[in-house]
Amino acid sequence: MRAFSRLLLSAASFMLVAVTLVSCQQRKVHQHPCIVNFVNFVRQTEPRDARFTDEYLYRTTANQLAQLNEYGFRGTFLLQYDALVNPAYQQLMREAMAQGHEVGAWWEITEPHVTDAGMKWRGRYPWDWHANVGFATGYTPAEREMLVDTYMKRFHDIFGCYPQSVGSWFIDAHTLEYLYEHYGIVASCNCKDQYGTDGYTLWGGYWNQAYYPSRKNAYMPAQTTEGQIPVPVFRMLGSDPVHQYDNGLDSHFQGVVTLEPVYSGGGGGGNRQWVEWFLSAMAGSTSLAFNYIQAGQENSFGWEAMKEGLTMQMPIIRRMADEGKLRVETLAESGRWFRHHYPITPPTAVTVPDNYLHDGRSAAWYDSRFYRAGLYWDDDKFSIRDIHLFDESIQSDYLLSAGTSTKCVYTTLPVVDGFIWSTPSERAALRLVTLHDDAQPTEIPILAHSFSQTSGDALTVRQETPYGPFSLTFSEDRLTCTFRPEQPLEWALQFAAAPGAELPFTEAVPQELKAVWKGHPYAVSILQGSCLTLAKNDSSECPTSWRILPQRNCITLLFR
């Protein structure tokens, strides 16, 4: 009995110390946490470069694990099936799990995976990156379930449990929901927004942080609890909020400006100046709910390519974590935290008042379950360069049938697209302009701008102009623009795109801007103000340029 009492006292003392430590950590952490996941996904083989042997890829993963341990970080290792069934990786991952790391699944499909599921492999190599064979979208829903069951059984046989996290560059809703319903996964991750890179287009989605996907489309945020898969999908790679969006604008094929340590030219994770700016900017961002950064690297780049960048990044992240500016945890831990705090996708933001070159360019992104918006400043020029709407009722092309193309395309509903509808000389955007009786509208210069969280989960952007203050408030389903000119002023928000851009607009009437994208009709309602057409397509009579006029110096747009 005395021994049991001593045990209770010891346990109580431990809990008191633990609570004290947690309280201290909570006092140090920013009000809205900036979460970092080290996610290293693991391939067994790399057919694109003969120098990268299977043994070299294994040593790369072993070095990544050793480096995380050196800096006291716990990471997430996601295994392709071909790595899962390799005894060398099994032993390495058992050691990793014993040290507190997470081991999950990377959902690219390989030859041994397909063969063990009782199907015929259609790829050119044991791992083929083409979308119709290397990803679940290339298989029928029934085949996807067989692939899931095969992987999960083998994982459980090896590690005695099921993985809690499953990641992929892109993953279909049928697979994701099956993983949740049958195996209880708590987190997923997918690629950042990109256009055409590696043949994969994910464009117009929830830009950063995480979202609950629609049951009909894993890339589309859901608007209701009934319509969502309750597994948060985190956006990977640590995308540059200023430079990534219009990278490669002249080719409609994007380069990469991310935290990945193998990229250093023009910014990226191998460039110390960029890394220090990016991590500080993300940690200090007005993020509304939380901010998110994925660090780490896929092993198929090889250790020599990533070593220098990772060696530079690690002490910076360690220092910022010790200062309470970053919170490093596994992907599954972030998934459980997200589900505990948010029963439905929360509004979030990324706001950076500068960029790593300090050349006058800056950006902000706002996301909610209804829409996303991207803002951009270049010295005194301001534009809303992106607005995309979300609709959980829109079914993905891959939900019920297998994709046959070597490429993959996931999109949402565009209202403003500053990449696809632009050229290097003519940028599509929504701009703040003054109106004159006999002259062309003139852009209003911005002298300064700042960000703040208002009304709970709203982002307010305050801007100073020569005429007075202009503010934009982004809330969950609407945007409100308010101008307070010091003297009478005719102003508007005006949209224009590059000539020849394929635009979705069908009609601009005073209280509604109507559009159709890939057969799906949608609209923006003008609750305050009025919309009018400025120019039409010669053949279709559809608007190619439009303007929204204020009512009592205010414009309110509804995005639902």
pLDDT in tens, 158-176: 999 999 999 999 999 999 9
Tell me, what's the pLDDT at 249?
Answer: 85
Burial class (CB in 10 A: 0-12, 13-18, 19+), 538: exposed
**Adjacent-strand bridge partners of 7:** none
pTM of the model: 0.92
The structure tokens listed for 272 are 């110390």
Alpha carbons 363 and 378: distance in angstroms, whole number: 9
Phi, psi angles (nearest 5°) of residue 177: -70, -35
Q: Please answer whether residues 89 and 96 qualify as being in contact, where contact means their C-beta atoms are separated by less than 8 angstroms.
A: no
pLDDT tens string 349-378 = 999 999 999 999 999 999 999 999 999 999
pLDDT digits (tens, 9 = 90+) for 120-158: 999 999 999 999 999 999 999 999 999 999 999 999 999
Closest by Cα among 181, 175, 157 to 106 = 175
Share of the chain above pLDDT 70, in %: 94
Q: Chain-wide mean pLDDT for the chain?
A: 92
pLDDT tens profile 468-477: 999 999 999 9
pLDDT (0 to 100) of residue 250: 76
Enter the DSSP assignment of 197.
G
Q: What is the pLDDT of residue 540?
A: 80
pLDDT of 440: 85
**Whose CA is closest to 412, among 255, 247, 216?**
216
The reported pLDDT for the residue numbered 253 is 72
Q: Six-digit token pair at 101? A: 């790391």
Q: Note the Cα 246 to chain centre separation in Å.
A: 16
Share of the chain above pLDDT 90, in %: 86
What does the block give as tokens for 259? 């935290």
| DSSP designation for 222 | P
Residue 529: the pLDDT is 97
Instruction: Report d(CA 276, CA 464) in Å as an integer.
Output: 29
Residue 403, SS3 per DSSP: coil
Mean pLDDT of the 545-552 span: 95
**Of 75-79, 194-198, 542-546, where does the model show the most confidence?**
75-79
Q: What domains can be seen in the chain, in order of their start residue?
A: 33-342 (3.20.20.510), 414-558 (no CATH)
pLDDT value of position 407? 92
- Distance CA(300)–CA(499), nearest Å, equals 41
Q: Report the pLDDT value the prediction gives residue 31, as an integer from 0 to 100.
A: 64
Q: Could you tell me how far CA 343 lies from the centroid of its own chain? A: 19
pLDDT score of 248: 86
Residue 8 has a pLDDT of 35
Which residue would you say has higher pLDDT here, 85 or 7?
85
DSSP assignment of 457-510: TEEEEEEEETTEEEEEEEETTEEEEEE--SS---EEEEEE--TT----EEEEET
Q: Which amino acid is at 392?
A: E
pLDDT in tens, 42-53: 999 999 888 889
Q: What span, in angstroms and rounded, lies between the C-alpha atoms of 152 and 452?
A: 45
DSSP helix/strand/coil, 367: strand
Instruction: Give the model confidence (pLDDT) of 224-265 as tens digits.
Output: 999 999 999 999 999 999 999 999 887 767 889 999 999 988
Take residue 483 and report the two structure tokens written for it.
Answer: 């101008």
**Per mean pLDDT, which range of 83-97, 112-126, 255-269 is the poorest?**
255-269
Question: For residues 78 and 104, is the Cβ–Cβ distance under 8 A?
Answer: yes
